[in-house]
Amino acid sequence: MLQLNKILRILALICLSTLLLYFGATVFIPLTFGAVFAMLLMPLGSWLEKKGFNRGIASVACILVFTLCAAGLVYLLQWQISDLLKDLSQIEQRFQQLTDSLQRYASEHFGLSVHQQKQMIREQQSGGMEKATGMAWSAFSKFAGLMLDTVLVLVYTFLFLYFRRHFKNFVIRLVGNEDRKNTQVILQKISGVTQSYLSGLGMMIVMLWVMYGIGFSIVGIKGAILFAILCGLLEIIPFIGNLTGTTITVLITLAQGGSTNMVLGVLATYAIVQFTQTYLLEPLVVGRQVNINPLFTILIIVVGEAIWDIAGMILAIPLLGMFKVVCDHVTPLNAYGYLIGSGQHEQKDGNIFKKLFGRKED
């Protein structure tokens, strides 16, 4: 009976936490991204402090480096997209041809004439001006919200970097004296796991850019660099991202008038890159720092999407990795840590930033 009550309390806590995260998404998503990015940038901030910079200047420098990297990536994407838009009229014509082919196929196999299909489309598009205005306003609202969230993430990242020792001491004060040492170990490992996963993921994305760029260039796709960057960036969304990037590449290749051989070349590039990523890049670059069972990896991504949409899918794995660290070091939760884990021993810390800059425990 006591065991049943314990399980029911845990389930109730999970349900309440899920509801809190779902309804508080507007607040918690930027805050969580800020905390995760702060952990990623912490080694750089510590290295700058060792060089004589005070914590405020070091934190600002970390934010500037992070912002410049993001701005450089956005500029590169804009440059590649502008080149692709030069062939926009040709792509539109090709899309029209593909649409006509699909209409003829539907007419021949499903008994829907082209006129009936156009009538159905017109009915769905009735009130076009109102819908267009609504879509434009919705797009503007989402863009404004994205800009606001971006600013909030940068502010939160700076504050977490600047006050990290204060927050660490607060957590330590919450526990009893007998658990302080274990709490310090947990905080250190949570930070290390996050840094290792994100820095390794970043390096793997750069390698994917190179491999996809070479493969798409050999195939002869226009805008090969753009699609290589797109496929690499979408890797931050596990499982779904790489399939989405490849699907977009195939569709644009067809719209550009690409042949069947080009489409097969894109798929072959995807297969080769995925094989290399799974069996070489992930073990060597990312490693098994998170050390999560594949079942729970998929499950947490599905749950993350249900609670926080795409942001939840991006944050799901590092957050579950942090939770596993807590379970591994809190005796009553050890069984849950074992259940979530892959059953393999964690490798040594492969954090790229730690190797480059060193890390001061603070």
Q: Would residue 170 count as lying in a domain?
A: yes
13-45 per-position pLDDT tens digit: 888 988 998 899 999 999 999 999 999 999 999
Q: What pLDDT does residue 356 have?
A: 45
* Domain of 77, in residue numbers: 19-90+145-357
Q: What pLDDT does residue 23 have?
A: 92
Q: Would residue 349 count as lying in a domain?
A: yes
Alpha carbon of residue 248 to chain centroid: 18
pTM of structure: 0.77
Q: Is 343 helix (H, G, I), strand (E, B) or coil?
A: coil
What dihedral do alpha carbons 95, 101, 103, 106 form, nearest 10°?
A: -140
Q: Would residue 218 count as lying in a domain?
A: yes
Q: Would residue 108 count as lying in a domain?
A: no
- The residue whose two tokens read 């700076």 is 158
Q: In this structure, which amino acid lies at residue 218?
A: I
Cα–Cα distance for residue pair 295/189, rounded to 1 Å: 23
Any alpha helices (H) in 220-284, and if so which ranges?
A: 224-233, 240-255, 260-276
Q: Would residue 332 count as lying in a domain?
A: yes
DSSP 190-232: HHHHHHHHHHHHHHHHHHHHHHHHHHHHHHT-TTHHHHHHHHH
With a cut of 70, which residues of the chain have pLDDT below it?
1-3, 83-98, 100, 103, 105-140, 283-290, 343-362
**Could you tell me which residues are beta bridge partners of residue 292?**
341
Q: What pLDDT does residue 349 have?
A: 46
Q: Is 340 helix (H, G, I), strand (E, B) or coil?
A: helix
Comparing CA positions, the residue from 155, 188, 231 lying closest to residue 351 is: 188
Question: Residue 221 region, left (φ>0) first, then alpha (ψ -120 to 50), else beta?
Answer: beta
Q: Would residue 111 count as lying in a domain?
A: no
Q: Is 292 helix (H, G, I), strand (E, B) or coil?
A: strand
Q: What pLDDT does residue 35 have?
A: 93
241-295 per-position pLDDT tens digit: 778 888 888 888 877 777 788 889 889 998 998 888 877 777 666 655 567 787 8
Q: What pLDDT does residue 162 have?
A: 93
Q: How many domains does the chain have?
A: 1
User: With contact defined as beta carbons under 8 Å apart, do 307 and 22 qualify?
Assistant: yes
Q: Would residue 27 count as lying in a domain?
A: yes
Q: Would residue 10 count as lying in a domain?
A: no
Q: What pLDDT does residue 348 have?
A: 46
Any alpha helices (H) in 288-361, and if so which ranges?
A: 294-329, 334-340, 352-357
Alpha carbon of residue 352 to chain centroid: 19
**Could you tell me which residues are beta bridge partners of residue 341?**
292
Q: For the chain, what is the total number of helices (H) and then of strands (E)?
A: 14, 0
Q: What pLDDT does residue 107 have?
A: 67
